[in-house]
Structure formats: structure tokens, C-alpha cells
Chains A and B, each alone.
Chain A
């Protein structure tokens, strides 16, 4: 085991980033033209990084597996993006955003990175508005804000329930502008299948053209992985079907340490599973908790319709347990509380694995306000409800429509049924302050890295981090590496390192096709998902994790002997793509369980049943576990733990309380 150096700049917290930016070595424009950067992934982090680096003059290549860079899964983010603008005059500041994020992460993230994130947050909103991102506005023309979980200020900017879409289209348009100017070369329907290392530095990638199946070699002085998270290891998640860990996992197997893999976020408000056919789960934005109250019946097994259950027989358990934050407690807390009620027999719906998210109270509250605006005296209950519905529709209309489409129920008339689902992964490739992994020249941005969210991410902070990394961090930090590379000429892709990497990829593809077993790739993916959800999901135990490690290893073996992948490698073959992604998930799943077993404490989204307070809250062990667990790949099924000690110099570390 070694101790990792995060290369955090000297100075006080407030000075670190400013000093760093003013002293980081620069690359002059003439040299930038000769430096090539590969960006894998075109979501918020990838698109913003690629556009910004191309604007600076670097030669950039971007790869995405979708048919267009605009389709990256950042597009599905609903609720909003945080920024410490204090436009609401409610006491927000860079420090508060920093503090909320560290506390929300249950004191398992790096102070310097999080402070930088809070510092640049404001500039992100400015940048997006300048690009023409149509954020929600008030009648006076100013930007509108709303609340999100784990905070007591209104700092979330939004565009109806489609904030991710609008931000991504902003970054995509900046990217397309550079493509149009010839500064970026775009490779859609391409998947990175290997990194190429030469003399200890990352120097390129092997990518597969998914349309023709042809393998391609691409050189870069630096490679940026902006490939998102690995929530699909659970099979069912709110991630897109194609979201995968392959790029990050290939990098891991080539030397990049994987940090805190067991830190996964289970989002409290998703549409419950309806049957075995289910291919993915749909999120109902956290923003709904601004106006939706969560409850279950006070009586276990109550089968009455929700609207027939009188107020005094409802248990608004979040408001009861956490009066200070109420329905807006952080995600990990809200998810566990829902699981606790359902496990205790108070769940609702056919499966009894759901709780209500009810808008009636706030529809009436809004209805009263509207009625009084209109000067209506003594309006009847129906009028009030109709007026209130209009307000709720304006705020969340698309989410309500989406809910109705999936469940066939009208949420304006009956409460939504919701249950937690896998949503985000705080873990990822270990990176230093520069966002560089343990492989020189290889960077990880956005959800693909581990850096800012500790053991639990606060709502509306993923969009913030993706864009912070891409627009405002990497354009500076990459200079400290590339300034030393100005005399490195482009390496010919006939170099033996490229040939070997390509050969390994080809052999693996051939191997998938040659097995000709009896079970589809999805069979293995579903089986893995069940193991992970049962044993490495919302609650984990030593015994369960030990068993799941054996189970996952057995499943890996079964995959290699019994999977069937139809078609060939030299054509458009989605099953072959999936096979590669699922075997990587099978390997990652093992490491997640190892990591969860190793961390003998509960923190944030990592809840070990053995370690909880008398009230059932997560019980951290700061003496032993205030570190980042960064795992090194040694050989198949062998991982070595390295640690980065987390030092809290500005925040007093404490038991997290939202009561």
C-alpha cells in the first residue's frame, strides 16, 4: 500500500485555486496547435472540455458511442444546477456551497477540490446564459431558483424539468461550433476499447467504429475520459441503456486507480419496478420534493386508496424524523427512510415497495395564493385545486406527464408512488487536483472521476461538477502537463504499443463471438444486477458482501463459458458492444463488493448494517476510514488498496444531522 499525493496547492483554502491558476505553466498558442487531446465521451464534462480546449487552440478529437454527441446521458438530468450566486439574497456564499457539499458527502471528499467547485460554480451559470441556455426566469427577467435536498438556501438554477438537456445542448452547440471550424474532429458511433501507454504515459486509444466494426488507432498527447458513471452495474438504474464503465475500467486495468467504487447513490424518488420485463428505471426529479410531501399509511398493510386515507392516519415520516430539513433531506437519508418504512410493512401499491409523493397539500396552498391574486372571495375547494394544479403544471408538467405515461395513473389526482433506484456513482477513477489519474497524461472528468461528492452527492451538483471540470478546471490544469510535452512529436500509430493494444482488443472481441453458449448477455447483466442490488445496494452486511464476491466471480466464469453473442465483429453489432460492457461490469461489481467489505463504517450512500446509530443513521468511523480507497488492478480478481488521507483543515468534521 502506498499513500497517494493529490498535489493540492499550498496556501489557504480561498487562495489555492487563484494561486494555482496564476502560476500554472502555460503553453503558447503556436505550441498548442501541435498538441493533440483525445476526449472520450460527449456529455457535459466531455463536450465542455472539448469545446474549451479547442477554443484555446489544441487539436481535439472527441469520441462518443451514441449516434450524436447531443445524446450523452447528461441530457436526462432533470432538476437543476447549483451555483453560489446568492441571487435570492438568502445568505448563500461560496463557503456555504462548499460546506453543504462536504457535509452532504458525509465528510469523505477532498476539501480543496470541493472549494474550487464552489468557486467556479457562478461562472458556469454566466457561461451557459451567454450560450443561450434558456433557464427559467421571473417576470422581471431575472433568473429563477429553487431548493434542492441537503441545503437551506435556493441556489438551484433550472429549465423546467429538462435542465440537463438544456445545459448539454449548450455545451454541444459550443462543441459543434468547434467541429464546424475544423478545430475538433468528431467520432460518433465509436467506442473506446483500450488506452495505449507508451513509456509510462497515456498516448492514445483504440476505438471501434460501431457502424463498420473496424478498429482504429488514435494518438493523443493526453487523453480525457469523460465517460460518466457505472450505475448500470445494477442492471436497473436511471442511467441510459448504453451508459457503461468500459472506458474507465480499461484505464483501470492499464494502471489507473479506481477510487471508492462502493460509493453509489440510490435516488429516493423513482418510479417503482413494475415487472420482470423492466429494462430501466425512471427518475422523478428531486425538485418535486419542493412541493411533494412523502408519506405512508400509519397502519401497516393499509389497502385503502391514498385519497381515502385521512390526514391523521398518514405518516409523513421525513417531516417527523427530520423536522429541520423535512422532505428535503439528502438523497441517501431519504432513500434509507423509504426502505425502512417498506421493510417494516408500511409500503404501498401492489408490490408494497413504494411510498407516496403527494402534491395535494401544495396544490391547495398555491391555489389559495392564485385565488387571492385574482381577488376571488371564498373560492370553493374545487376552484382552489384547479388553480393550484395550474401552478404545479407550470413547474413540473413534463415530469407529471412522464409519470402518467409510464404508470397509467394521473398524479394530479392521486399521489405518485415512488421508490429508491440507483442513480449516480460518486466513486470513479482516482484523480489528483489536476484531474489526472495515476497514469500520466490520462485524465478523468465529471462523473467518471471520484473527486467532489464524497460518499453522497447533493442534488443539482452533478451538472455543476461536469461543467466545472470541463469549462473551468481542465483548461488550466492540463497546462501543467502539456507544457512539458511541447517537444513530443505525434507518435506514429504503427508503434508497437498501438499494435499490441489493438491485437488485445481484437482477440477479446473474437473470444466473445467464439463461445457460442446458451445465455444472452442480458441474462448475465440481470443476474449481476440482482446480486449487486441485494447485497451491495442500500444496505450492506459483511456476510452478504463476502457471499456476493463469490457469486460475482462464479458469474464471471459462467459468462466466459456460456454466453452467446450473435453476428460478427465487422458489422454494426449491438450485442457484441453489450457483451464487452457487461463483462466489465462483472469485474467492477466484484471490486465494489470488495471495497464495501473493506470499509467497516457507514457513510453517505454506503450503509453497513453493522455500523449505525441507535436511531438508524449512518455511523462513520473517522479514526480509521477518513480516507479515499483507491484500488490498483494487480491481476484478474486481485486488487491492492492505496489510501489518500482526507484532511479537514477548514471544516469541523461532525456527525451529520438534518434534524
Chain B
């Protein structure tokens, strides 16, 4: 079909966490511009499988930009060349015939490689478990409308809560910092009355856990915000820093 593309892919292949990895070249032909990027990898994998070769392992699930599972570093950018989308929302019309595309996994010490392009992001779960919640047991809630929340705060909180936990912020950061991810959760709850009782304890515990997991610090380059598929704002980091500062002053020890 006219308009279809032939491409060269350089893909990171690594057997498991401990094995040595390397970039391997592949050719794909007759790729439709209407295909998604992951469907293009499906095509390559289908070719590899019927030849008896091992297909490329990569994480993906919903393929509509919300589950946060897909995670490719494409031509040096997390989630590829377009802003504000995940890899699964990237379509081949964003590439040109004859182009070479380099595909790597997220690179961060706190995200060890599982295989090929799949990484282990469970550190994010452990950070949430350290305080990213409101401590309310099932069955204790008052009527939802007995707690009015101004639209502005509700909208800001929602904007922070839109984080999909994909880890692009960490992958984009030269320090592999998780500040954008952590601050999004801290902000979501700090902006709501429900989050107030644990506000300072939460930020204290989550930051401590983030450090323990080995993520780097923030040096305000803004790469995280630029690469975030959900447009999570850098101002969340400022809010977290303020709360963390207050938590330090308020602490007895």
C-alpha cells in the first residue's frame, strides 16, 4: 500500500536482570502509518516467532494510554517523539519511511530490567504503601456532599491524580529522580480536606521511602514535566518541598 514504510529498528535485548544486554538491529517492512507503535512491534514479533526466534519482551496492557504499563525509550525520549502521550498512543504516522528507530527500556537503577524492554517498577508501589493514601477503613465515610470542596482545589487535585505511574519522569531525569511521581500523589491529597490529618506525616514517610529506594534528587531541569504523558506539573514538586519543609519544622525530633 502506498504510504507504508520500511524501517530499521535498534532494539535493546537482554535475557534477564543479570545478563548483559545489547542493541540488535531489525528490519520491518510495509508498516502502515495508521498502526500504533506497539502494533509495529507486534508485527516484528510475529516474524520472529514463526522463525522460531524469541520475540521482544515489552510491557503493555490497556493500549489506550491509561494503565501506565508501556514504557519505551524511543530515539532518546520516554514514550517517543510526541508530547503528552504514552508509547501505546504513538502512531507510525509520526515516523518517516527509511527512518532508524532506537528502542530502549527505562534506565534507572531503581527500575531493574526484567527482560529486554520490560523493567521492574515495584519501587513505585512501595512508595505508595509508605503513605500515599488516606487512612480510612471501609464503612467509615460520611455523606459525600457533607464535605464541600471548591472546584478549583478539586480540579488541581484531579490534575495531580491523573498520574499513571508509568515512570517516564524517572527515565527522563538525569538523576533518575522520582520527585514528580511522589509529588503528584502528595499534592493530590494535600489539596483535599480528606488528606489533611496525615498531610505532613505522609510527605515525610513517602520522601524517606523514595530515598531508600535509591531514586535521585531533583535539580529542577524540568525534563520530567516535559516528558510526562499526563502533563503532571512541576509545581507539584514545589508543593511537596514546602510540605516536606513544614513537616521538618513541625517534627519533634
The range of chain A's interface size is 35 or more
B101 → chain A closest CB, angstroms = 17
Is B128 a contact partner of A137 (Cβ separation < 8 A)? no
- Cβ of A55 within 8 Å of any chain B Cβ, yes or no, is yes
- Cβ of A127 within 8 Å of any chain B Cβ, yes or no, is yes
Query: Which A539-557 residues sit within 8 Å CB-CB of chain B?
Result: none
Query: Which B127-164 residues sit within 8 Å CB-CB of chain A?
Result: 128-145, 147-151, 154, 157-158, 161-162, 164
Give bound CA distance, A70 to B36, whole Å.
24
Give bound CA distance, A59 to B64, whole Å.
35
- Cβ of B124 within 8 Å of any chain A Cβ, yes or no, is yes
Count B-side interface residues using an 8 Å CB cutoff. 78
Is A566 a contact partner of B161 (Cβ separation < 8 A)? no
Binds A, one of B52-60, B172-180, B210-218, B244-252: B52-60
Is B138 a contact partner of A408 (Cβ separation < 8 A)? no
Give chain B residues whose Cβ lies under 8 Å from the Cβ of A128. 144
Query: Which B164-198 residues sit within 8 Å CB-CB of chain A?
Result: 164-165, 188-189, 192, 194-195
Q: Which of A140, A160, A241 contacts B158 (CB 8 A)?
A: A160
User: Which DSSP category, helix, strand, loop or mixed, fits chain B's interface?
Assistant: loop
Is B65 a contact partner of A141 (Cβ separation < 8 A)? no
Is A130 a contact partner of B136 (Cβ separation < 8 A)? yes
Q: Which of B62, B91, B118, B121 contacts A68 (CB 8 A)?
A: B121
Q: Which of A135, A516, A520 contacts B46 (CB 8 A)?
A: A520
Binds B, one of A414-422, A567-575, A600-608, A639-647: A567-575
Give chain B residues whose Cβ lies under 8 Å from the Cβ of A166. 158, 161
Query: Which B57-101 residues sit within 8 Å CB-CB of chain A?
Result: 57, 59-69, 84-85, 89, 91, 93
Give bound CA distance, A472 to B137, whole Å.
12
Is B36 a contact partner of A279 (Cβ separation < 8 A)? yes
Q: Which residue of A lies closest to B34 (CB)?
A: A274
B157 → chain A closest CB, angstroms = 4
Is A518 a contact partner of B144 (Cβ separation < 8 A)? no
- Cβ of A515 within 8 Å of any chain B Cβ, yes or no, is no
Give bound CA distance, A384 to B136, whole Å.
46
Is A173 a contact partner of B141 (Cβ separation < 8 A)? no
Is B49 a contact partner of A566 (Cβ separation < 8 A)? yes
Give chain B residues whose Cβ lies under 8 Å from the Cβ of A402. 64-65, 89
Give chain A residues whose Cβ lies under 8 Å from the Cβ of B62. 71, 73, 75-76, 240-241
Q: Which residue of A lies closest to B60 (CB)?
A: A241
A-B contact pairs, 20 of them (CB 8 A): A52-B137, A55-B138, A70-B128, A127-B138, A130-B136, A131-B134, A132-B189, A132-B194, A132-B195, A138-B151, A164-B66, A165-B162, A174-B138, A275-B34, A275-B35, A402-B64, A405-B85, A408-B93, A475-B138, A566-B52
Given contacts A71-B67, A241-B60, 12 further A-B contacts (CB under 8 A): A87-B145, A130-B142, A131-B133, A131-B194, A132-B134, A133-B161, A135-B154, A283-B64, A408-B91, A472-B138, A572-B115, A575-B55
Q: Which residues of A contact B (CB under 8 A)?
A: 48, 51-52, 55, 66-71, 73, 75-76, 85, 87, 123, 125-143, 159-160, 162, 164-166, 169, 172-174, 176-177, 179-180, 186, 188-189, 211, 240-242, 274-275, 277-280, 282-283, 401-402, 405-406, 408, 471-472, 475, 516, 518-520, 522, 564, 566-567, 571-572, 574-575
